Structure 1
Amino acid sequence: MPSPLAELPIRRLTIDDLVSCADLSENRGWPREEHKWGLLLTAGTGYGIDDPEGKGLVTVCVVTSYTPDLAAIGMVLVAEKFARQGVGRRLMQHVLAELGDQPVTLHATPFGQPLYEQLGFEVTGRVEMVRGHFRPSGPAPTVATRPATADDLSAMLRLDAEVFGRDRTHVLTRLPAFADQLRVAEDSGGLIGYAAAWPNMETHVVGPLVARDTETAKALVASLAAGTDRPLRTDIDVRHEELLDWLKANGLEPLAFNAVMTRNIPGLPGDWTRRFAPLTVAAG
């Protein structure tokens, strides 16, 4: 006999499902992150299965598409009472079938990585999450930064398309309303970096962090830290060893490593040397 879970319909989520998604996050011991859920459910497409007893959601995930050439999957969650019954696999198989041959990326915890490998994903990178109150030590970064203005948006989008390798206009145009701070760095030739700090529970998450070089990335982080009393949290590509060492020397503590995984593409597009941190690991 098939499991009743195998018969429950999968549906598209809307912004009206935000509280139920946050409830599910809390059910699994994650922060509620309602602010982030609001962005993901409007900039991306949520998928979920309703609890047959009307008690919220059985499972969810969100897909953020960047043209037909790349999609990011994130926030894959299964309610505790439905865990280890194959429902998360079923949801992922449904979403991947809808995406077809479209290249896909996700950030996987060590717990989730085996499932994603079975679904055809390969590890192509690694990020380290760090968190803490930024306490400046040593020489200050030498690159000047300033608050972004509306006039900077088109240059930010051009720079981001170069670095990310895909057009993220539909996500990045939400940054001024989503983030508490948005700062840029420039030289005589134009914009050389930008970064945002957005509220997530008791922290400010730094992301995206796009910069010409490590010194510019340091300057953007330091300037964002100066504008908040909250701890910072960010997810840094481990290849940026100098930035990670500097963050740890300035008060941030290592929390966890996640694998960057891809399917139907050998690795992330764009220029990793200028891509220091994602907007959020859920959306790339």
Structure 2
Amino acid sequence: MEIRRLGVDDIPECMKLITDRGWSWTPAQWEMMLALGPGFGAFDGAALLGTALTTPYPEMQAISGVLVASWAGRRGIGTRLMASTLDISPSVLYATAMGEPLYARLGFHSVGETTDFHGVFTGAAPGVTREATPADTATLAELDREVSGYTRPALWERLLDPSTPYAVLMSDSGVIATRPNPEGVTIGPLIAPSASAACELIADLASGSGRVRVDTDNAEVGAFLLGQGFEQRTGGCKLMVRGAADVPGDRSRYFAPASHALG
């Protein structure tokens, strides 16, 4: 088995792992992740057995895309892939129930949890937002740094690039973005000064947008979504860190992550 860096030519093989494991990543997501940071693959000849991705920020690195093919389990592949990413500390990731024991053995501890809500928004748009443009990149990157704690202007350049499939709306003190998923769109990041303001941002974006997914750790936002006909999925993801006591930033204003992959 060889571990080497992934490139865009490997995305078709990565998508086979996605299908095997029932994830919802798209080729565009793989392309973005590989553009924002290095990814590593475990190969047996030409066959891709597993993956692990990193997105480096000055404050800490986000780890994601840790996948091992169902036919290649119990060979230590996940541990070897993680060893390729943990040379930088601290690290942050969102763990599924399946992955949490591995990350705990590697020294990660839980500092939070998101719950997954899916549905078609039934309310009206309050009209509190406007469409963000590339001219807003610096403003939104700074707001994101204050709230998420991560310095990542390259992410905002990509989100606001008109050629990419992302939508970004902003208000005077918040921002909400979406990315496509196989069922519709996923919201994230969602930054707002309060839970009620976050709900208004969701209403503006989700009204007329079809099926929407929101991953949030906020009970008020969750109750709002349930009141709009959304369903709460079981499972969720644990927010885990290694090499630090907690995640940075003002997380009281961070109502949905940029994605589980990006922190």
* Structure 2 counterpart of 1:172, one-letter code: W
- The match for 1:65 is 56
The two structures have a TM-score, normalised by structure 2, of 0.94
Structure 2 counterparts to residues 174-189 of structure 1, below 5 A: 174-177=158-161, 178-186=164-172
- Could you give the per-residue CA deviations for residues 219-249 of structure 1, whole angstroms, max 9, x where no partner exists? 11111112522x1012102xx2111110111
Counterpart of 1:95 in 2: which secondary structure?
A: coil
Counterpart of 2:236 in 1: which secondary structure?
A: strand
CA distance in 2, matches of 1:164, 1:227: 28
| CA deviation after TM superposition for structure 1 residue 142, in Å | 5.8
* Structure 2 counterpart of 1:176, one-letter code: L
- The match for 1:38 is 31
- The match for 1:252 is 230
The answer to whether the 8 Å contact 1:143/1:185 transfers is: no
Structure 2 counterparts to residues 139-150 of structure 1, below 5 A: 144-150=128-134
Asked if residue 209 in structure 1 is aligned to residue 195 in structure 2, the reply is no
The two structures have a TM-score, normalised by structure 1, of 0.87
- Could you give the per-residue CA deviations for residues 58-107 of structure 1, whole angstroms, max 9, x where no partner exists? 1101101112x2001111100111112211111112221x32xx110111
Structure 2 counterparts to residues 265-280 of structure 1, below 5 A: 265-280=244-259
The answer to whether the 8 Å contact 2:110/2:239 transfers is: yes
- Higher Cα Rg, which structure: 1
Counterpart of 2:97 in 1: which secondary structure?
A: coil
| CA deviation after TM superposition for structure 1 residue 155, in Å | 1.3
- The match for 1:223 is 204
Change (3 A) 1:146 1:227: farther
* Structure 1 counterpart of 2:7, one-letter code: T
Residue 144 of structure 2 is aligned with which of 160, 163, 166?
160
* Structure 2 counterpart of 1:205, one-letter code: T
Residue 90 of structure 1 is aligned with which of 66, 80, 92?
80
- The match for 2:44 is 51
Counterpart of 1:173 in 2: which secondary structure?
A: helix
CA RMSD across the alignment: 1.6
* Structure 2 counterpart of 1:62, one-letter code: L
Change (3 A) 1:272 1:141: farther
Change (3 A) 1:143 1:241: farther
| CA deviation after TM superposition for structure 1 residue 179, in Å | 4.1
- The match for 1:234 is 214
Q: Which runs of 5+ in 2 are unaligned?
A: none
- The match for 1:194 is 175
CA distance in 2, matches of 1:39, 1:88: 22
Identity of aligned residues (%): 36
Counterpart of 1:265 in 2: which secondary structure?
A: coil
CA distance in 2, matches of 1:103, 1:133: 38
Asked if residue 119 in structure 1 is aligned to residue 100 in structure 2, the reply is no
Counterpart of 2:49 in 1: which secondary structure?
A: strand
The answer to whether the 8 Å contact 1:157/1:169 transfers is: yes
Runs of 4+ in 1 over 6 A off after TM superposition: none
Q: Which runs of 5+ in 1 are unaligned?
A: 1-7, 187-191
* Structure 1 counterpart of 2:221, one-letter code: L
